[in-house]
Structure 1
Amino acid sequence: MPVLPLSKMHGAGNDFVVVSEEVIGSFSLPDLARRLCRRRFAVGADGLLVVGRGGRHAVQMRMFNPDGSEDMCGNGLRCVAKWASLHGLTADTCFTVETIDGDKQVELLSDGRVRVELGEPRFEPNEVPVLAEEAPVVDMPVDLPHGTVRITALSTGSTHGVVFVDSLPDDERFLRDSPMIENHPLFPQRTSVLWTVVESPSRLRMRIWERGAGETLACGTGACAAAVAAQLHGLAGESVDVYSAGGMLHVEWRPGEPISLTGAAELVYEGCYLLDEVMI
């Protein structure tokens, strides 16, 4: 019976199914993501990473959320860098990966972690995108049925809304308000929601709701967005450790420069999946 070779990887608990572009054939990638990412019914993951040879560089990645939407992903980028090295796409420790958000520089560190550059954050409303008049969009009031939240909106390759709070929301508030913010009319392409506590100028803590995925244990582009937003508010410095349920990611950013994201990228297992099961 035909099978699909795959790898399971994670970055700080943000987990992915990774497949080679060469073995996909004629399958619809959004449909494949919806099928493979179903927890308890399939492999289960926060997203599908498809890796292949790039047109300009040795490696190209595409990432699809569990709902089939395509997006950029910082944790996924680190996993792709590790996967490409393990599977012989490149012998270099520093190389470029082509993504939906442009070319990204990656570096495999000697301690097993991966450092990636995600480019400069975007603040212009049409680039986030968010329906606002001025940039940066800081403390924008968003009305919800149970009150108003203030959101700092920006893009770090994916749309993020950062909500600074004194303590992380409990399940009732998190599960009630996060999807309403994600799908609020102010965000025409939806947004991820980053509930963020500033513990010190060098330490943040988040609870994460990702667009197209729901709650996740970590978010690389989200950690970067929270760190940048904290700087905009004068709450954090240029070097920040961002903690979430899955672990810690290190973010560095200086205005006018690309954001640097460093963290683990782990191979969990490799195996095969029955293609007939994917098509159910």
Structure 2
Amino acid sequence: MSDAEVPPAPNSGGRGDSLPFTKMQAVGNDFVVIEETVWGAGTDWPQAAIRLCNRYEGVGGDGLLVVSPSETADVRMRMFNPDGTEDMCGNGLRCVVRWAVDHGYFAEDSDPIFSHRGTVETLVGVRGISVEKGGIYPPSIWTNMGVPLFHPDQLPALVAGRDSLMNYPLDVEGYGTVAVSTVNTGSTHTILWVDELPEDELFFGLSPKIEHHPIYPERTSVLWAKVHRHDGHTNFAMRIWERGVGETLGCGTGACAVIVTAQRLKKDKNMEENEPFFLVNVHSAGGDLSVIYIPDLEAGKYYMAIEEDDDSLQLIGTAHTVYSGFIAR
């Protein structure tokens, strides 16, 4: 990266020709977090992501998180995949919240449950956040994840004559017809419901073919999901192939997508359509996330005392700082 791509910033806290970063992770989804005001607004962020996320020649990570002041929220985040494409990321959002709390972007709250509340500007809109109190570090972070989108135009997917892509018969070269369900929960996710999560040969063979399938003009992440009951409770497990990344240990928007499609497809008797809300855990290789899904916002306002403008998806989990350091320009 040239000096022209990363202009010097006054009082940046860097060391000579180096600039600061923080490495963070949430359920194994790891990110390089940097401040736009330190690195410079003129930075070529896609190229920075390609360089910094490289696990051999950079810091290494599933994405680059760029944090900056916002005119519409307490703080702004941008997330870039390792291939330089910009996207939304639920686990990245929690990492930004944890980082922003530590750096004073959110004022302390007098609420008996939450120590901080605030808003974050993202690629898909402003999202409300709440950070739990308590002596356990790091505390759980609640993030509003918006309303799921189903219509092909909203995914996007080049399919005509359908209101959604639930149980859609997708023809995949070399694999025949595969039943998939696609939803946009801030990022496009295509779910394959299976009895058991796939072995490597099937996972690494079919997942990239679906990611790059011609019906998805912006590509899609691919989630293999199954019902996973534990102690009489319905939970779900997933294996994740993220667009622009490959296999990852966790995915927040993906966990939301699994719950949404599970409810739509009635994957469990405890997820009936007339229920006002669901609180379900989703397990991946990196750990567990909790998702609250409110299919009917009017009913949700009655049962959960939510406000009119609240979102129908809430993602709950932790985020951890791994280390901080400096990297050459």
Same-fold status (TM-score > 0.5): yes
Amino acid across the alignment from 1:119: G
Match of 1:77 among 93, 96, 99: 93
Point out where structure 2 has 5 or more consecutive residues left out of the alignment: 1-15, 109-115, 272-277, 298-311
Is the CA contact 1:14–1:217 (under 8 Å) kept in the aligned structure 2? yes
d(CA) in 2 for partners of 1:106, 1:254:
17
Distance in 1 separating the partners of 2:252 and 2:77: 15
Gaps of 5+ in 1: 276-280
Is the 1:209–1:215 Cα contact (8 Å) retained in structure 2? yes
Q: TM-score, normalised by structure 2?
A: 0.82
Task: Give the root-mean-square deviation of aligned CA atoms.
Answer: 1.1
Counterpart among 93, 96, 99 of residue 122 in structure 2: 99
TM-score, scaled relative to structure 1: 0.95
- 1:143, CA displacement in angstroms? 1.4
SS in 1 for 2:154: coil
* Structure 1 stretch displaced more, 161-170 or 134-143: 134-143
Alignment partner for residue 34 of structure 2, among 7, 11, 19? 19
Q: Is the 8 A contact 1:7 1:19 kept in 2?
A: yes
SS of 1:126's equivalent?
helix
Aligned partners of 1:202 and 1:239 also within 8 Å: no
Distance 2:200 2:149 in 1: 31
Looking at structure 2, the residues matched to 75 and 202 of structure 1 have their Cα atoms a distance apart, in angstroms, of 22
Q: State the partner residue of 2:205.
A: 176
Q: Is the 8 A contact 2:150 2:165 kept in 1?
A: yes
Structure 1 stretches (4+) deviating beyond 4 angstroms? none
Equivalent position amino acid for 2:65 in 1: L
Q: 1 CA distance for matches of 2:283 and 2:124?
A: 25
**What is the CA deviation profile of residues 171-201 of structure 1, one whole-angstrom value per residue up to 9, with x for unaligned ones?**
1111111000000011111000000011236
Give the structure, 1 or 2, with the largest relative contact order (CA under 8 Å, sep 6 or more).
1
The CA distance in 1 between the partners of 2:179 and 2:318, in whole Å, is 32
CA distance in 2, matches of 1:31, 1:3: 17
- In structure 2, C-alpha distance between the alignment counterparts of 1:193 and 1:235, rounded to whole Å: 18
Structure 2 residue 205 is the aligned partner of structure 1 residue 190: no
Identity %, equivalent residues? 47
Amino acid at match of 2:284: S
1:119 match: 146
For residue 283 of structure 2, the aligned residue among 243, 249, 254 is 243
Aligned length: 275
Deviation at 1:24, TM superposition (A): 2.0
In structure 2, distance between residues paired with 1:148 and 1:218: 27
Which residue of the other structure, out of 143, 146, 168, is the alignment partner of 2:171?
143
Bigger CA radius of gyration: 2
Which amino acid is the alignment partner of residue 288 of structure 2?
Answer: M
